[in-house]
Amino acid sequence: MANETPDWVGAAHVALNKAVLGPRTEHRGRVEEIGDGVAMISGLRNVCLDEVLRFEGGQVGFARVLDPDMIGCVFLDAATDVEAGDAVFGTGEVVSVPVGERLLGRIVDPLGRPLDGRGAIKTGPHMPIEQPAPSITERDLVTDPVQTGIVVVDTLFALGRGQRELIVGDHSTGKTTLAIDTMIAQAQSDMICIYVAIGQKTSSVRRAIDALQSLGNFARCIVIVAGSAEAPGLQWIAPYAGMTMAEYFRDKGQHVLIVIDDLSKHAATHREIALLTRQSPGREAYPGDVFYVHARLLERAAKLSQARGGGSLTALPIAETVSGNLSAYIPTNLISITDGQIVLDSALFHQGQKPAVDIGLSVSRVGGKTQAPVLRKAAGSLRLDYAQFLELEVFTRFGGMPDSHVREQLTRGARIRQALRQPQHMPYRLADEIALMLAVQNGLLDPLPLAAVARFRTALPGALDNDAADALRRLAETGKLDETGRAALMKTLTRLAGSLAGDTGGANAPPEGETGP
């Protein structure tokens, strides 16, 4: 599979393998050095940046560095059979990938070659992986929400269609799970989802694919895999290929969500290629253009104006930190490029607070403009109440008996924290989130033991379906919660809370490492 030449390359080079009468022009060079997926080539003076080069053995690569006397070429295939002195041909083409509906429901590599064992994908239109970002006049305001199904995100850091929101945190803190859950939540929406795995372990990619196939609408998903064992060139082009595939649907007026997992590994690949092609290293040995590499990629995510069809492309890039250091080079760059960040904290993760979102460091710079009005009204002052609780909790750990008002704040805050927990791969509906926020803000959870709050949260969707079906239907149809619907929800919530008021679940200690009243 790795040595299979893409259709668009083979078609462009029939003339190279055909004997024809008469003179013809041939851009030909030779390999001077080769190693680690990079070849240094001489003799190709008319090559353009990112032009596809074809080797005499059929392998392909693209020109990444243009020096006066030498071309730095990055392989898109295994280079085991290429040797110094081999001929190299310029093609006049840039790297292109197939786009279109035929890719939906498939697992492919960054060149569009199938990896799922379901046979070849019928050749469709091809588009270059490098596309200009929409201009300011072609963009529209980001006002429509992306319902992630994750309570802590939808209530505190709402996302909008066309937004770029960074997911950042240490290794194994739930970054990929957060993104996959967002994709699963789009199973009933009109959004097409694209997952780009860059340098990830095969087992991690397999788990993500299994979750999408079993819980999401995989027929409206595309998975692009450039594993850690693949050629550096494939890993480098992967996010650009994903963006091009997404832009095809966006330009048709559709809505797309793309997850790039992750840009830290992409930056490491870019650094590796830069050092092998003898570019000057800068901070942390990254080349000077690493900011531009990611900026021009993420700027392609946008909500288009009605004149351009009104489609949207929402990006959720992922970045990994070391020891929570957000001031490292790549996380700093990505935070400055994106429209906000969701920060996952390893300490919260190990305490059992999942998703382990740090509400103090996380922010959505679009936020309230895209949040569903009915959810914003139900959540009320949730973020302020929770932030105050976290500060009070730190002070009360030093001892002393707080007054009754502080005890009430601590009790409410502990219930908010428990309500914001959520099992993986179980996104909530908008109605479930609204009902949960009503229960929190109206103090219905305050009398419950902490162990019972988790059971309340688990039982909530079923109780709403059984006892408040009419209210849910009107909410889905109108997007509003009238007084009748609110009364029906409150009646259901009160009944459910009352049934759990004396339920400790046989455990006196708070669940999952919880500390607090």
Active-site residues, by number, are 365
Amino acid at 78: A
Closest CA to 453 of 406, 384, 385, 512: 512
Report d(CA 276, CA 35) in Å as an integer. Answer: 8
Q: How many CB atoms lie within 10 A of CB 490?
A: 17
SS (H, E, C) 196-257: EEECCCHHHHHHHHHHHHHHCCHHHEEEEEECCCCCHHHHHHHHHHHHHHHHHHHCCCCEEE
The two three-digit tokens of residue 293, written as one number: 């590499």
Half-sphere exposure of 332 toward its Cβ, with a 13 Å CA cutoff? 7
Are 340 and 166 contacting, i.e. CB atoms less than 8 angstroms apart? yes
Supply φ then ψ for residue 23, to 5 degrees: -75, 150
Contacts (Cβ under 8 Å, ≥6 apart) of 226:
109, 110, 196, 197, 198, 199, 234, 235, 237, 238
When computed from its CA atoms, the radius of gyration of the chain, rounded to whole angstroms, is 26
- For the CA atoms of 41, 47, 52, 58, the dihedral, rounded to the nearest 10 degrees, stands at -50
Report d(CA 233, CA 239) in Å as an integer. Answer: 11
Closest CA to 225 of 249, 204, 247: 204
Sign of the C-alpha dihedral, residues 187, 131, 230, 87?
Answer: positive
Report d(CA 279, CA 5) in Å as an integer. Answer: 29
Give the DSSP H or E segment for 64. strand 60-66
In 427-482, where does DSSP find H-type helix? 430-441, 450-467, 469-478
Q: How many CB atoms lie within 10 A of CB 2?
A: 15
Report d(CA 276, CA 488) in Å as an integer. Answer: 65
